[in-house]
Amino acid sequence: MLTDQDYKDGQVLLFDKPLEWSSFQLVNKVRWLIRKNLNIKKIKVGHAGTLDPLATGLMIICTGKFTKRINEFMGQAKEYTGTITLGGTTPSYDLETEINEVFPTEHINDEMIHAFAKAYTGTIQQRPPIFSALKKDGKRLYEFARKGEEVDIPTREITIHEFEITRIALPEIDFRVSCSKGTYIRSLAYDMGKGLDSGAHLTALRRTKIGAHDIKDATTIDAFITTFTES
């Protein structure tokens, strides 16, 4: 078992974030467990990149002196797998909000889907979703969204290193994507809908890699709890 000094000197912990947990909930739980079990009054604990509550997968959590490495991890490429569902859009581009518009899908074939994925690879301009924590005029974008206010969101440059279609069972499309910092997979789903002359939203998302770190090496919060009870 790691000691209080180990955590203060710095640890890089890999977690598999559970569905419906916020990134902050996971960080707070880890901090509380370390403090409670090792009788530490205060310790720095932070994460290297958020995941939406409806996403699962790899989160890097740093403790103590290693919190200084958070920006290093945040800048690394990330890999995701997930499912995009065609035929409808939602304001949040995922399942956080209800479908607000439906679209035809009968004209879509496998060739069109693969062609879109190929065209969406490389350095592109992407518009973030309004349901996001990005700031404009000092306010989070989701604050505008929840009030029903329209706001102009500028595009920003991102890089899609790889975009692989792994399963097509319309209206569902499974994918694997490797991308740069700042990429919104929800926006990718929305853009795919538009690119296929339809609509789409993200219905499942899992982060599998951050740089050289892999979800296969991650622990669950339940397994982390047991590390404090092992002799």
Q: What is the mean pLDDT of residues 99-126?
A: 97
Candidates 52, 94, 110, 217; catalytic one? 52
Domain(s) labelled CATH 3.30.2350.10 in the chain stretch across 4-75+213-226, 78-210
Cα 220-47-91 angle, rounded to 5 deg: 90
The topology (CATH level 3) of 4-75+213-226 is: Pseudouridine synthase (3.30.2350)
- Is 52 designated active site? yes
| Contact status, residue 100 vs residue 148, Cβ threshold 8 Å | no
Does residue 149 register a pLDDT over 70? no
For tokens 């000691």, what's the residue?
3
Does residue 231 register a pLDDT over 60? no
Cβ-based burial of 205 (10 A; exposed 0-12, middle 13-18, buried ≥19): buried
Average pLDDT of every residue of the chain: 92
Q: What is the DSSP letter of 73?
A: H
Cis ω for the linkage preceding 171 (within 30 of 0): yes
Q: What percent of the chain has pLDDT over 90?
A: 81
Question: Architecture of 78-210 per CATH?
Answer: 2-Layer Sandwich (3.30)
Candidates 93, 83, 89; CA nearest to 113 is 83
Tokens of 2: 């790691």
Determine what percent of the chain falls in helix, strand and coil, rounding each to the nearest 5: 30, 30, 40
Does residue 136 register a pLDDT over 70? no
Q: What is the pLDDT of residue 64?
A: 95
